[in-house]
Amino acid sequence: EVQLVESGGGLVQPGESLRLSCAGSGFNVNVNFMSWVRQAPGKGLEWVALIYSGGGMYYADSVKGRFIIFRDDSKNTVYLQMNSLRVEDTGLYYCATPVNGKDAFDMWGQGTMVTVSS
C-alpha cells in the first residue's frame, strides 16, 4: 500500500527542539519532492518546507533558520528538525507529496501533533 506515516510529535516548551519523521511505503520518497504542511488548531493549511529529489531545500519565511528538512534514502524517510520552537509553531504537521508526477499534493500522511507550550 502506498502511504506516508508521520511520527515524532509531542508537547515541548518554547525554545526546545523536536524531530518529526515521515516514512514512505510503496514508493520512494526521493523520486520527486516531499513537503511538510502544518495546520494550527482551527486554522488553515500552511506550507512549511520542501526537499527535492536532488536535495534542494526550501522553507517558509516563518521557519527559515529554525527548521531543517532532510532525507534518509536508506530508510525511505523524510525528517523535519524543528529548533527554537515557538508557541505559534503549534499544530498538526502533515507530510505530503505528488506521487503521480504532478506538482500537486496527491498523497498526505495522517499528521503528527506538535504542541509548544510552557
Partner 1 sequence: SYVLTQPPSVSVPPGETAGISCGGNNVGSKSVHWYQQRPGQAPVLVIYYDRDRPSGIPERFSGSNSGNMATLTISRVEAGDEADYYCQVWDTSTTYGAVFGGGTKLTVL
Site map for partner 1, 13-52, x if CB under 8 A?
----------------------x-x------xxxx--x--
Say whether 7 sits in a helix, a strand or coil.
Answer: strand
Nearer to partner 1, 103 or 118 (CB): 103
Q: Other C-beta atoms within 10 Å of 65: how many? A: 9
Write the CA distances from 27 to 24, 113, 118, integer angstroms.
7, 24, 39
> What are the residues binding partner 1 (CB under 8 A)?
35, 37, 44-47, 50, 58-61, 94, 96, 100, 102-106, 108-111
